[in-house]
């Protein structure tokens, strides 16, 4: 999923992002990358995940549009896609705002 900074997401896109974030190891990856771009080798050591499991979680996050990567030599570096997180935050904010609307009066 590709999300631009100014784009609105729909509930289907929000569900995909939330599903990707719902798994604890993937959330750990997101939290680790909040500090900036990281090499996959650093992530594996910090998160105590094997390369196979980490690769799977990185793939899910990337497919959801939450991560971008670049290759430098034999290493792959990952970073957060802030636009996707901002779009999700905007969607959640709109959802939260609508919760405050009073019900229409019954006749």
In a domain, 77, yes or no: yes
In a domain, 107, yes or no: no
pLDDT at 7: 63
DSSP annotation of 60 reads H
pLDDT at 46: 92
In a domain, 99, yes or no: no
In a domain, 4, yes or no: no
Contact call for residues 11 and 94 (beta carbons, < 8 A): no
Q: Residue 71: which domain range?
A: 11-91
In a domain, 67, yes or no: yes
In a domain, 83, yes or no: yes
**Integer Cα distance of 107 and 95 in angstroms:** 27
CATH number at residue 74: 1.10.10.10
pLDDT in tens, 21-61: 999 999 999 999 999 999 999 999 999 889 899 999 999 99
Q: 36: which residues sit within 8 A by CB, 6+ positions away?
A: 79
In a domain, 33, yes or no: yes
The count of structural domains within the chain is 1
In a domain, 54, yes or no: yes
pLDDT averaged over the chain? 90
């Amino acid at each position: 999923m590709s999300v631009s900074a100014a784009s609105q997401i729909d509930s289907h896109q929000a569900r995909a992002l939330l599903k990707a974030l719902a798994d604890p190891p993937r959330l750990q990856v997101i939290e680790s990358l909040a500090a900036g771009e990281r090499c996959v080798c650093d992530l594996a050591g910090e998160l105590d995940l094997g390369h196979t499991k980490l690769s799977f979680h990185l793939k899910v996050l990337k497919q959801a549009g939450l991560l971008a990567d670049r290759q430098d030599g034999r290493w792959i570096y990952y970073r957060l896609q802030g636009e996707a997180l901002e779009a999700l935050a905007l969607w959640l904010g709109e959802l939260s705002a609508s919760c405050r609307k009073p019900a229409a009066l019954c006749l």
